């Protein structure tokens, strides 16, 4: 190799010390005695000494006499690029760190730092005392200090001293090692919890073990709470209301967001933003008892109970638009005292005139308007959840210039979020149209037209997301396991109030569940729409359009085991509506309870609650077992042990009340229910039978599914701890002789009422209906046996000839579907 240019002031003369040379066109000599050339001045030549060992006595001698020293990599580098030899006032072994500017922080050993500085200079780097924008790398021994904070904010790589040592070890490996520094420096990054000793307070055993494992993985250590060696105490702010001890000034007491934020940034986050502070807000006050059990006036009791229920549900009963106008007199009859009227908005209250009567007159709102309002409210909540997915998860993950680089690849982002923006856009317009319709409501307004207007867009937006939802869920699970920064990102954002403590997967399943809920509400609106209203036909078309998209959901989400459980419920409950069978429905809990009030059945009745993901089936234990059901082919099965009471959509539950345990009330809870046809709230109270079911877990699960049904993220706001005395609920003397006798009298009274009811179908009518379908010979035979047929139940045991040849499975289904009395989609 030849050098094409040299400094103009002198001729370059290379002196190789203990180094073999081959074919170099520059004047050079090889020597093993540096003192022969190192202590003299030569005006004709500039002598450059090439050494391989910068720790030898030759190096010390040349350095002491201010000779120019380089290493073989420098000569090879300049020769390969045909450039003049790099000039440096310091000994230069290689160009590994050429153009790099380093800054140090956290070093206490001056000799160690001096050695590192020399190595950096030997590899062509520069050192800066103060941190600035010109610094390319920060060499840190700890995560404390102002330099560390500035480097984190500016995105400057923060590395350990081992990075310098490893670079020096590889100084002869490649000619231009600086090109590969970015590849192998990631293993020398300063972990976020270096020099940190953590302890954790308020977390479950599983979550604590997970956080301790990640602490070790990211350079930290952990100890038990109250250990004086701890530098940080991470607190679960939602469960810890007060610290068990007074922390020292050196101990950082931080929220869990600091922990996950540090992992996400791959750097220790500043503690000042995440300090745990004791909440000064007062605790939720107990519900004031508005009723007295000794009040003689039962009307006053009912009125106060109604006011109590209205107060409990006031957060969920706020209407964003005025009620439908019936007539001027009805509009002026509204009163501030009517707490159960959900239409008492500030606008209507201002326009109302004082009523002469002391009793407020409720506005008669149509059931069609109430269900339409519920459709709007759930649509608004659903749009808010979609907005949360986009604002808290999708946009931050797509943001450029993230600290530590992108968290996920673009392909992974597309797989996870798919067509969420398109779904959000179309539902935002649906919500706007529903709001406009309800603001200026009239009974001839069409709700179905709004759904039909966007049916094509729904068909385009939903199938891509539904078809790839399982892949999206798998991608989230896989990335969370393989990428700690993504796991930390989810922990931070899923803990925010907007998510209602729901995971990203739980939020993303909402689009899969939304269309069945909309179809359910549209079917309910159709039920309350008169036949002469043009919207009835439009609603039917809208429901059919939704079914086109729902078929994709039903095919992807159908689960054989879940459907089997629903079939078991249908056959176990006598009179159970057949439309309980749905491919998108699944059984969550079966709960055995005892009724504590007069609704939905008498006090003391054994009630079984079947909690599904979108509805609640209420059934009571049958009083008397009837003879077994027999099919035309002679097959028998035991009679249903339960009797259907009600099939209630979860959207009708306004509040879940956790009744406090007292001497007179133990293990009880209540539901505040508001059917669309009712103008007042209803109270269903129950006591858990047995110890198999934990009340707190049941109520939390119930609230979660209620929130999913009405598209709300704040599921925990639906539950409230209440004094049972304020609701006149108690479990005392449930099994006493007097209580059993009282229930027996009520049952007897109902039987007598039904026996003398004029609406009961006469026996002769049943006989004539049976005779009409018989042949003449069969008629004569049955007439001869008329005296032996004593009741309609006996007639029911005789099967029509037209049913004899039917398969037993069809007969079984016919028996089930004929029970339906409730129009629930």
Measure the CA–CA gap between 556 and 463, rounded to whole angstroms: 10
Q: Is 210 helix (H, G, I), strand (E, B) or coil?
A: helix
CA distances to 47, 57, 61 from 34, in Å: 11, 10, 8
CA–CA separation, 358 and 414 (whole Å): 62
Tell me phi and psi for residue 682, to 5 degrees. -110, 145
Q: At 269, phi and psi to the nearest 5?
A: -75, 155
The neighbouring-strand residues paired with 126 are 101
pLDDT at 299: 67
- Bridge partners of 636, per DSSP, are 630
As a whole number of angstroms, the distance between CA 120 and CA 442 comes to 81
- So what's the pLDDT on residue 434? 93
Rounded to 5°, the CA angle 680-686-691 comes to: 155
Answer yes or no: is pLDDT of 629 > 60.
no
* 361 contacts 395 by C-beta, under 8 angstroms: no
**Two structure tokens written together for 56:** 């030898």
Under the banding of pLDDT at 50, 70 and 90, the label for residue 592 is very high
Q: Which residues 6+ apart lie within 8 Å of 391 measured at CB? A: none
H or E element, residue 593? strand 587-595
Instruction: Give pLDDT, residue 584.
Output: 76
**Given this model, what pLDDT does residue 402 score?**
79
Would you state the pLDDT for residue 92? 84
The mean pLDDT value for 725-736 works out to 78
Res 798: pLDDT = 43
- CA torsion sign, 708 to 710 to 715 to 720? negative
**Whether residue 149 has pLDDT greater than 50:** yes
The more confidently predicted of residues 470 and 797 is: 470
- Cα 500 to Cα 480: distance, rounded to the nearest angstrom: 20
User: Which of the four pLDDT bands, split at 50, 70 and 90, describes residue 754?
Assistant: low
| Per-residue model confidence (pLDDT) at position 316 | 47
Query: Which residues, in sequence order, are bridge partners of residue 232?
Result: 198, 252
Measured CA to CA, the distance from residue 486 to residue 509 in angstroms comes to 20
**Token output for 38:** 């190192």
- DSSP for 637-666, please give it: EPPPSEEEEEEEEGGGEEEEEEEPP-SS--
Segment among 89-98, 680-689, 754-763 with least mean pLDDT: 754-763
Average the pLDDT over 368-375 and give the result: 91
Reduce the secondary structure of 727-766 to three states and give it as a string: HCCCCCCCCCHHHHHHHHHHHHHHHHHHHCCCCCCCHHHH
54: which 2 tokens? 């910068």
Q: What is the Cα–Cα distance from 560 to 565, expressed in whole angstroms?
A: 9
CA distance linking residue 541 with residue 456, whole number of Å: 13
| pLDDT tens-digit readout, 473-529 | 999 999 988 888 899 899 888 888 888 878 999 999 898 888 888 988 999 999 999
Q: Give the three-state DSSP class for 618.
A: strand
pLDDT at 738: 53
The tokens of 135 are what? 């610094």
In terms of pLDDT, which residue wins out, 298 or 402?
402
CA distance 457 to 120: 62
Band of the pLDDT at 363, cuts 50, 70, 90?
A: very low
> Rounded distance, CA 607 to CA 599, Å?
11
Q: In this structure, what DSSP letter does residue 394 have?
A: I
% residues pLDDT > 90 (the chain): 20
Mean pLDDT to the nearest integer, 671-697 = 87
pLDDT at residue 397 above 70? yes
Please give the pLDDT value at position 559.
Answer: 53
pLDDT tens-digit series, residues 203-235: 989 889 999 999 998 889 999 998 889 999 999
Q: Is the pLDDT of residue 465 over 80?
A: yes
| Structure-block tokens of residue 149 | 């904070």
Which H, E and C letters describe 257-285, residue by residue? HHHHHHHHHCCCCCHHHCECCCCCCCCCC
Other CB atoms within 10 A of residue 115 CB: 14
Per-residue pLDDT, 626: 52
Least reliable range by pLDDT among 456-470, 521-535, 645-659: 456-470
Dihedral sign computed on CA atoms, order 636, 638, 644, 647: negative
Evaluate whether 647 touches 825 at the Cβ level (below 8 Å): no
In angstroms, the CA 70 to CA 47 distance is 11
Helix, strand, or coil (residue 219): coil
Q: Quote the mean pLDDT of the chain.
A: 75
CB-based contact 221:215 (threshold 8 Å): yes
What average pLDDT score do residues 698-717 get?
Answer: 88
Which H or E run contains 640?
none
Residue of higher predicted confidence among 564 and 726: 726
Predicted local confidence at residue 386, as pLDDT: 94
State the Cα–Cα distance between residues 521 and 372, nearest whole angstrom: 8
pLDDT at 815: 40
Cis peptide before 185 (omega within 30 of 0): no
Stronger pLDDT, 279 or 87, i.e. the higher one: 87
Q: What's the distance, Cα to Cα, between the start and end of the chain in Å?
A: 86
pLDDT exceeds 50 at position 26? yes
Most confident segment among 173-182, 357-366, 404-413, 460-469: 404-413
Contact by Cβ (8 Å): 58, 64: no
513-522 pLDDT, tens digit per residue, is 888 889 889 9
From CA 37, how far away is CA 603, in angstroms rounded?
Answer: 112
Return d(Cα 445, Cα 366) in angstroms, integer. Answer: 13
Separation CA 124–CA 70 (nearest Å): 11
Token pair in block for residue 403: 């600290």
Residue-level pLDDT at 289:
37
Which strands sit side by side in the sheet containing 615-621, from one edge to the other? 573-574, 642-649, 615-621, 606-612, 587-595, 682-688, 668-673, 653-659, 719-722
Mean pLDDT, range 55-65, rounded to an integer: 78
For the record, the structure tokens of 747 come out as 């049952």
pLDDT bucket at 795, cuts 50 / 70 / 90:
very low
CB 378 within 8 A of CB 519: no
Tell me the two tokens of residue 137.
């790398």
pLDDT of residue 755: 52
> Omega of the bond prior to 420 within 30 degrees of 0, cis?
no
Share of the chain above pLDDT 70, in %: 68
Give the per-residue pLDDT at 340: 32
Greater confidence, 302 or 714? 714
pLDDT at 810: 35
**Closest Cα partner for 97 from 37, 6, 179?**
179
Over its C-alpha atoms, the chain yields an Rg (Å, rounded) of 40
- 377, 710 Cβ separation under 8 angstroms: yes
Asked if residue 138 lies in contact with residue 100, where contact means CB atoms within 8 angstroms, the answer is no
Span 769-786, average pLDDT = 52
CA distance 126 to 97: 8
Residue 383 CB coordination number (10 Å): 19
C-beta separation of 456 from 462 below 8 A: no
Q: Could you give phi then psi for residue 289, rounded to 5 degrees?
A: -70, 110
Q: pLDDT band at 312, cuts 50/70/90?
A: low
pLDDT tops 60 at residue 557: no
* Rounded CA separation 432/684 (Å): 35
Instruction: Pull the structure tokens for residue 152.
Output: 């984190």
Confidence of residue 767 (pLDDT cuts 50, 70, 90): low
Q: How distant, in Å, are the alpha carbons of 203, 357, 374, 468, 579 from that of 824? A: 42, 40, 16, 29, 6
Q: Give the pLDDT score at 565.
A: 80
């Amino acid at each position: 190799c030849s050098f094409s240019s040299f400094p103009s002031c002198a001729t370059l003369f290379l002196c190789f010390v203990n180094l073999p040379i081959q074919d170099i066109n520059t004047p050079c000599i090889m020597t093993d005695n540096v003192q022969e050339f190192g202590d003299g001045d030569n005006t004709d030549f500039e002598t450059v000494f090439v050494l391989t060992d910068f720790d030898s006595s030759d190096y010390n001698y040349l350095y002491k006499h201010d000779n120019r020293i380089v290493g073989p990599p420098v000569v090879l580098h300049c020769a390969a690029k045909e450039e003049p030899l790099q000039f440096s006032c310091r000994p230069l072994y290689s160009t590994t760190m050429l153009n790099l500017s380093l800054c140090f922080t956290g070093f206490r050993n001056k000799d160690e730092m001096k050695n590192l500085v020399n190595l950096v200079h030997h590899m062509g780097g520069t050192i800066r005392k103060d941190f600035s924008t010109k610094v390319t790398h920060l060499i840190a021994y700890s995560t404390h200090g102002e330099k560390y904070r500035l480097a984190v904010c500016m995105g400057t790589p923060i590395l350990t001293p081992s990075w310098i040592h490893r670079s020096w070890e590889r100084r002869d490996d490649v000619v231009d090692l600086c090109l590969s520094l970015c590849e192998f420096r990631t293993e020398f990054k300063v972990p976020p919890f270096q020099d940190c000793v953590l302890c954790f307070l308020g977390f479950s055993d599983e979550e604590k073990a997970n956080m301790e494992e990640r602490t070790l993985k990211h350079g930290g250590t952990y100890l038990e709470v109250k250990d004086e060696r701890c530098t940080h105490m991470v607190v679960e702010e939602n469960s810890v209301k007060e610290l068990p001890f007074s922390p020292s000034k050196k101990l950082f007491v931080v929220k869990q967001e600091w922990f996950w934020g540090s992992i996400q940034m791959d750097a220790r986050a500043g503690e000042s933003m995440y300090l745990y502070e004791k909440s000064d807000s007062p605790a939720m006050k107990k519900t004031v008892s508005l009723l007295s059990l000794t009040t003689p006036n039962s009307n006053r009791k009912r009125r106060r109970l109604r006011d109590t229920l209205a107060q409990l549900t006031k957060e969920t009963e706020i209407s964003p638009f005025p009620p439908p106008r019936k007539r001027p007199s009805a509009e002026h009859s509204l009163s501030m005292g009517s707490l159960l009227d959900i239409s008492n908005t500030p606008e209507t209250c201002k326009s109302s005139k004082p009523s002469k009567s002391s009793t407020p007159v409720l506005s008669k709102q149509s059931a069609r308007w109430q269900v339409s309002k519920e459709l709007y409210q759930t649509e608004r909540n659903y749009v808010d959840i979609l907005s949360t997915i986009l604002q808290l998860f999708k946009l931050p993950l797509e943001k450029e210039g993230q600290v530590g680089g992108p968290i996920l690849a673009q392909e992974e982002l597309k797989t996870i979020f798919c067509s969420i923006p398109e779904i959000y856009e179309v539902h935002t317009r649906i919500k706007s149209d529903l709001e406009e319709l309800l603001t200026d409501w009239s009974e001839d307004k069409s709700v179905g037209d709004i759904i039909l207007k966007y049916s094509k867009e729904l068909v385009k937006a939903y199938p891509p997301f539904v078809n790839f939802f399982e892949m999206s869920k798998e991608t989230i699970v896989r990335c969370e396991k393989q990428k700690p920064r993504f796991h930390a990102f989810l922990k931070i954002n899923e803990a925010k109030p907007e998510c209602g403590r729901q995971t990203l997967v739980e939020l993303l399943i909402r689009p899969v569940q939304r269309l069945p809920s909309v179809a359910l509400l549209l079917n309910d609106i159709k039920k309350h729409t008169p036949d002469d209203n043009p919207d009835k036909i439009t609603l039917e078309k809208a429901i059919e359009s939704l079914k086109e998209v729902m078929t994709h959901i039903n095919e992807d989400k159908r689960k054989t085991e879940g459907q089997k459980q629903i079939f078991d419920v249908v056959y176990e409950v006598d009179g159970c509506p057949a439309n309980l069978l749905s491919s998108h429905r699944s059984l969550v809990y079966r709960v055995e309870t005892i009724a504590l009030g007069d609704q939905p059945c008498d006090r003391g009745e054994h009630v079984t609650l079947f909690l599904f993901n979108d509805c609640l089936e209420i059934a009571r234990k049958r009083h008397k077992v009837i003879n077994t059901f027999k099919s035309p082919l002679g097959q028998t099965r035991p009679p249903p042990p339960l009797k259907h009471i009600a099939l209630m959509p979860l959207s009708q539950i306004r509040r879940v009340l956790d009744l406090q345990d007292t001497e007179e009330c133990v293990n009880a809870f209540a539901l505040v229910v508001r059917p669309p046809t009712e103008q007042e709230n209803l109270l269903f109270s129950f006591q858990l039978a047995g110890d198999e079911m934990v009340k707190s877990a049941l109520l939390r699960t119930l609230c979660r599914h209620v929130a999913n049904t009405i598209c709300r993220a704040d599921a925990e706001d639906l539950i409230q701890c209440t004094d049972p005395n304020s609701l006149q609920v108690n479990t005392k003397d449930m099994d006493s002789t007097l209580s059993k006798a009282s229930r027996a009298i009520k049952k007897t009274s109902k039987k007598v009422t039904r026996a003398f009811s004029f609406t009961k179908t006469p026996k002769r009518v049943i006989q004539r209906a049976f005779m009409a379908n018989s042949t003449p010979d069969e008629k004569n035979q049955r007439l001869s046996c008329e005296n032996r047929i004593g009741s309609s139940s006996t007639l029911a045991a005789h099967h029509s000839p037209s049913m004899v040849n039917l398969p037993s499975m069809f007969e079984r289904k016919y028996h089930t579907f004929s029970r339906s009395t409730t129009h629930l989609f």
